[in-house]
Structure 1
Amino acid sequence: MLRGATDDDVDTIRRLRNQQANRDVSITSHEIGAAEHAAWWAAASVDPRRRVLIYVRDGETAGVVNFSDLDGTTGSWGFFLDAEGLAERDETLPAWIEVMREATTYAFDELGLDLLTGEVLEHNTVVRQMNRRFRFVEGAASQRGAVSVIPISLRREDRRKK
């Protein structure tokens, strides 16, 4: 299940984002401090072109989904999971599939998008494979600092349906 993030979720969002597994596959991989995170939340929580959602699995916060650059027909997205908690419960793969299904459904059915975009690190072959499973199309890689980033996109008419 996805629900809107609130002020009560801010510390949990930061804790999950700072898990090493999530930092390893993020464009910005430094540990995010309290002041930096507070500034991000202050801006994100009032930005009409953004949605920050909490992914809940079996009653537990299991991840965060971010939508940005929403303009009515297009938007960008990304997510991260509670890598440590899901691994302990041996639920990483089912949660990953579920959050992608719920997030793409939200993008097209709730937000009414026609095109959903995002980015993935070129070396993150596991995520790239899952993106293809969900019918995301990759663009040409570009260098962003020390990492190579691949744009991805999914059109409403190309998405997987239940």
Structure 2
Amino acid sequence: MLRTATDGDVDIIRTLRNQQPNRDVSITAHEISAAEHAAWWAKASVDPTRRVLIYERDGVVAGVVNFFDLELDAEPRTGAWGFFLDAEGLAERGETLPAWIEVMKDATAYAFDELGLDELSGEVLEHNTVVRQMNRRFRFVEGEPETRVADGREITVLPITLHKDNRRKPKGN
């Protein structure tokens, strides 16, 4: 289940984002400080082109989904997204794969059914082969790789896109 993040979620968002498995597959890999996170939240929580959502699994916070660069008044309606899970907690409970599938289903449904997007985009690090495979399962298409320097390291980033007409349809539709 996805719900809108609130001020009460700020600490758990930072805690999850700073888990080493999440930092290892993020463009920004450094540990996010409390001050940096507070500044991000102060902007993100009032930005009309952004939605920060909490992913809950069986009533427990299990991840964060970020939609940003939303162009809801444009044609086509576009937006970008990213997410991270409670990698440590889900692994401990043996729920990583089902949670991952569920958050992707919920997030793409939110993008196309709630936000009404025509196209959803994002980025994935080239070395993150597991996420790339899951993205393909959900019919995201990879673009041309781009080399960047972030946090003092050279990374290769792949853009991904999913058009609403190509998405996996929820069962029963």
TM bucket normalised to smaller = over 0.9
Picking from 137, 153, 157, the partner of 1:149 is 157
Partner SS state of residue 69, structure 1:
strand
* Distance in 2 (alpha carbons) for counterparts of 1:142 and 1:88: 34
- For residues 130 and 39 of structure 2, the distance between their equivalents in structure 1, rounded to whole angstroms, comes to 31
Taking the aligned partners of 1:103 and 1:87, their CA distance within structure 2 comes to 21
The answer for unaligned runs of 5 or more in structure 2 is none
Partner of 2:83: 79
- In structure 2, give the amino acid aligned to 1:4: T
Instruction: Give distance in 1, aligned partners of 2:89 and 2:132.
Output: 23
Secondary structure of the structure 2 residue equivalent to 1:70? strand
The CA RMSD over aligned residues, in Å, is: 0.3
Residue aligned with 1:144, SS = strand
3-state DSSP of counterpart to 1:116:
strand
CA distance in 1, matches of 2:82, 2:12: 17
Please list, as runs of the form range in 1=range in 2, the aligned pairs for 1:40-55 lying within 5 A after superposition: 40-55=40-55
CA distance in 2, matches of 1:138, 1:128: 9
Deviation at 1:144, TM superposition (A): 1.3
Q: How does 1:100-119 map to 2 (within 5 A)?
A: 100-119=104-123
1:4-153 matched pairs, under 5 angstroms: 4-72=4-72, 73-145=77-149, 146-153=154-161
Query: What's the TM-score, normalizing by structure 1?
Result: 1.00
Percent identity over the alignment?
77
- TM-score normalised by structure 2 residue count: 0.93
Aligned equivalents of 2:144, 2:27: Cα separation in 1: 16
Per-residue CA deviation, residues 14-35 of structure 1 (Å, 9 max, x unaligned), is: 0000000000000000000000
The alignment partner of 1:26 has SS state of: coil
Deviations 1:116-140 (A, max 9, x none): 0000000000000000000000000
Q: How many residue pairs are counted as aligned between the two chains?
A: 162
